[in-house]
């Protein structure tokens, strides 16, 4: 942003209502200040002449002045009111359908109080303000968008993953990364009983694509004998060491809704898929509050640096849920969290007894939804399909919960006023969940409760139209599409793959799409998702269908993608009244970007930087 600012004094009672108190619509209208003005055309035709004459007269008499103040990037805003403007046209994308673009925004305290043209904002503040308004200008090329949101994340798991980078090319390299982690911390090195946890290995990206085994850990003398649990990139596979296998005994022969991988002798080999992973987590020692705080700090630091001001945490178990509640009530939760309380079918029903958390801690935490995991993942072959996998005809994947459970509990939760969000990847899983949402119509207003299909990856044509009819939200992750496009057709076949990540078809059937990343599964940066949504290309500009994109007819427009990571996530979390757009009266969450993502060539999206991230009117990353 520009290193200079304009400060001025002026006076008028109507504008004092904007400076010193709540926005006074009547007084402001009387003074000519309108809520959310987007161009100078709103000023009466004779106004500019009067403004110039008045400004000249006052300047000569010494009552109105402009300070040539140098405002460095690390300077603090000294007033609780300031304006941010663009000199080169309307470079503020509001995502407010009434005024999609504007030249200036004005913040008072924690809220937006006005938008409009430079002339409009400055003239009315000159006439009306008794204080000093700092006006900050964008640098050429920079733009402003609302605070960005990620609709599907795993907040604390991201912080856990950052401990050991597992973006490896082989089993041996992965074990080597664990060895380096152990050697880097003397406390861990000398305590062989301490659990070592990591996240992110992907056997489909290894040079030799194969499932790992516990024996790989035992081959390294530093690593051997330690309890080690590494979750796969998609979070659906657990790779464990011999020490953990021994602690899990006796291990059952099979687990419904999961797979226990075995060696040639029939013994567990060290990999557990989907619900079988619960056998591992059942003996996992709980993290301390200090550990959770460290993980949160790591996540939030990275989130703010890429422009995220709010996240939807897609599976809160009791321990992290209470951690977030304590942080919110203490006023120390540094990002907005919309939490989904985890559904465990073995536990007593709690939908009629657990008290919802609504905007606790200065609008930082809301928990009013339940997360149900319907099926497995496509990458590991667990997504539930109507027909067998093309590359493995012996299986159709599997449901982690039965249709009977879905049809019993989804209507129950909705009748008790809970938003229901269901992980559904395969076409059969999506169809069964839509069946349950339809069944819930007998006892609840489904549309009003805004149910969500988390992922909604593979959709049969017969199920597509039901999205719009029921008011179901598709919570999708565009970066999954450009990861899975390389093996999607092999798994599903040439016809069924057309329903994989069919974003355009979902939109055209009347459904609302909200975008996320599923971090730490994919890149946290929302601009990576924006790029994937509008191009359906890899970062290198390639796809199985060439440089035009993978199934290019399913691309989203830039406007849809921006809305999908701002206003639509706000809607999907019942917060569109306070978040999601740069609209007077809403909380002042916004992001300054180094390039105009609505215009630059697609490849430049990946080099666009976040200049500043602002929450409640105050920078949490960068500076104004």
Q: Check residue 582 and report its DSSP letter.
A: -
% of the chain with per-residue pLDDT over 90: 79
Residues with Cβ within 8 Å of residue 221, at least 6 apart in sequence: none
Mean pLDDT of the chain: 88
CA 255 to chain centre: 32
Assign 51 a pLDDT band (cuts: 50, 70, 90): very low
pLDDT at 304 over 70: yes
362-383 tens-digit pLDDT:
999 999 999 999 999 998 899 9
Query: Would you say the pTM of this structure is higher than 0.85?
Result: no
SS3 445: coil
CA torsion through residues 438, 500, 490, 383, sign: negative
Give the separation between CA 249 and CA 279, rounded to whole angstroms: 10
Residue 265 is encoded by which pair of tokens?
A: 């002798």
List every span in the chain annotated with CATH 3.10.310.70: 155-281
- For 155-281, the fitting CATH number among 3.10.310.70, 3.20.10.10, 3.30.470.20, 3.30.70.1520 is 3.10.310.70
Query: Span 242-259, mean pLDDT?
Result: 95
Residue pair 151/516 in contact by the 8 Å Cβ criterion = yes
- pLDDT at site 283: 96
Give the separation between CA 429 and CA 384, rounded to whole angstroms: 5
131-152 tens-digit pLDDT:
567 899 999 999 999 999 999 9
- pLDDT at site 484: 96
pLDDT at 465 over 80: yes
Residue 453 CB: number of other CB atoms within 10 A? 28
Residue 380 is encoded by which pair of tokens?
A: 């590991």
Phi, psi of 394 (to 5 degrees): -80, -10
Q: Which helix (H) or strand (E) holds 104?
A: strand 104-108
pLDDT at 74 over 90: no
Give the separation between CA 401 and CA 585, rounded to whole angstroms: 43
Residue 38 is encoded by which pair of tokens?
A: 């987007």
- pLDDT at site 186: 95
pLDDT at 57 over 80: no
Assign 21 a pLDDT band (cuts: 50, 70, 90): very low
- pLDDT at site 6: 45
β-sheet bridge partners, residue 371: 342, 421
> Packing angle between helix 47-61 and helix 118-128, nearest 10 degrees?
50
Residues with Cβ within 8 Å of residue 32, at least 6 apart in sequence: 43, 44, 47, 124
- pLDDT at site 59: 33
546-558 tens-digit pLDDT:
999 999 999 999 9
- pLDDT at site 79: 59
Which of 42-51, 415-424, 469-478 comes out lowest in average pLDDT? 42-51
CA dist list (Å): 55 to 58, 60, 62: 5, 8, 10
- pLDDT at site 2: 54
- pLDDT at site 7: 42
pLDDT at 45 over 80: no
Residue 25 CB: number of other CB atoms within 10 A? 14
- pLDDT at site 126: 56
pLDDT at 357 over 80: yes
pLDDT at 31 over 80: no
389-411 tens-digit pLDDT:
999 999 999 999 999 999 999 99
> What phi-psi label fits residue 362: left (phi over 0), alpha (psi between -120 and 50 degrees) or beta?
left
Residue 15 is encoded by which pair of tokens?
A: 């504008």
Give the separation between CA 278 and CA 272, rounded to whole angstroms: 9
């Amino acid at each position: 942003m520009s290193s200079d600012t304009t400060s001025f004094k002026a006076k008028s009672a109507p504008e004092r209502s904007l400076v010193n108190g709540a926005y006074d619509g009547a007084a402001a209208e009387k003074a000519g200040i309108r809520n959310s003005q987007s161009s100078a055309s709103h000023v009466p035709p004779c106004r500019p002449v009067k403004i110039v004459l008045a400004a000249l007269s006052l300047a000569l008499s010494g009552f109105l002045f402009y300070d040539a103040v140098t405002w460095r990037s690390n300077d603090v805003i000294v007033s609780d009111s300031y304006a941010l403007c663009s000199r080169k046209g309307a470079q503020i994308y509001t995502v407010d359908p009434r005024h999609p673009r504007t030249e200036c925004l004005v913040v008072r305290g924690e809220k937006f109080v006005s938008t409009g043209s430079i002339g409009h904002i400055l003239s009315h503040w000159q006439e009306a303000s008794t204080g000093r308004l700092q006006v900050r200008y964008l640098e050429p090329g920079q733009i402003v968008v609302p605070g960005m949101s990620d609709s599907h994340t795993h907040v604390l798991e991201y912080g856990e993953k950052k401990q050991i980078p597992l973006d490896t090319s082989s089993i041996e390299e992965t074990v080597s990364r664990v060895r380096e982690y152990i050697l880097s911390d003397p406390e861990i090195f000398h305590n062989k009983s301490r659990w070592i946890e990591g996240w992110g290995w992907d056997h489909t990206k290894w040079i030799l694509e194969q499932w790992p085994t516990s024996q790989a850990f035992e081959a390294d003398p530093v690593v051997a004998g330690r309890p080690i649990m590494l979750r796969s990139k998609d979070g659906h596979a657990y790779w464990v060491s011999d020490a953990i296998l021994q602690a899990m005994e006796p291990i059952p022969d099979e687990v419904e809704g999961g797979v226990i991988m075995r060696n040639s002798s029939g013994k567990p080999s060290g990999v557990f898929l989907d619900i079988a992973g619960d056998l591992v987590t059942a003996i996992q020692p709980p993290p301390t509050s200090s550990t959770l705080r460290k993980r949160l700090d790591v996540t939030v630091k990275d989130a703010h640096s890429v422009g995220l001001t709010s996240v939807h945490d897609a599976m809160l178990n009791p321990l992290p849920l209470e951690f977030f509640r304590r942080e919110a009530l203490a006023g120390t939760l540094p990002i907005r969290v919309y939490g989904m309380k985890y559904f465990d079918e073995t536990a007593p029903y709690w939908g009629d007894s657990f008290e919802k958390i609504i905007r606790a801690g200065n609008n930082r935490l809301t928990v009013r939804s339940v997360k149900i995991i319907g099926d497995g993942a496509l990458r590991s072959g667990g997504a539930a399909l109507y027909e067998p996998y093309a590359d493995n005809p012996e299986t159709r994947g599997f449901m982690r919960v039965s249709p009977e459970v879905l049809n019993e509990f989804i209507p129950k939760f909705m009748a008790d006023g809970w938003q229901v969000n269901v992980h559904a990847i395969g076409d059969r899983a999506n169809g069964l969940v839509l069946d349950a949402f339809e069944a819930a119509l007998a006892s609840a207003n489904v549309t009003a409760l805004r149910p969500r299909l988390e992922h909604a990856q593979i959709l049969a044509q017969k199920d597509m139209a039901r999205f719009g009819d029921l008011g179901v939200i598709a919570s999708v992750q565009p970066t999954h599409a450009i990861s899975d496009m390389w093996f999607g057709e092999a798994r599903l076949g040439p016809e069924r793959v057309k329903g994989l990540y069919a974003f355009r078809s979902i939109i055209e059937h009347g459904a609302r799409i909200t975008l996320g990343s599923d971090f730490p599964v994919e890149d946290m940066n929302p601009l990576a998702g924006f790029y994937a949504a509008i191009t359906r290309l890899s970062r290198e500009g390639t796809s199985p269908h060439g440089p035009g994109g993978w199934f290019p007819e399913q691309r989203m427009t830039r406007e849809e993608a921006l809305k999908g990571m701002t206003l639509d996530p706000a809607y999907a979390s019942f917060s569109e009244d306070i978040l999601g757009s740069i609209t007077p009266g809403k909380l002042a969450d916004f992001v300054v970007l180094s390039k105009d993502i609505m215009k630059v060539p697609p490849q430049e999206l990946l080099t666009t930087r976040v200049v500043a991230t602002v929450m409640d009117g105050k920078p949490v990353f960068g500076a104004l």
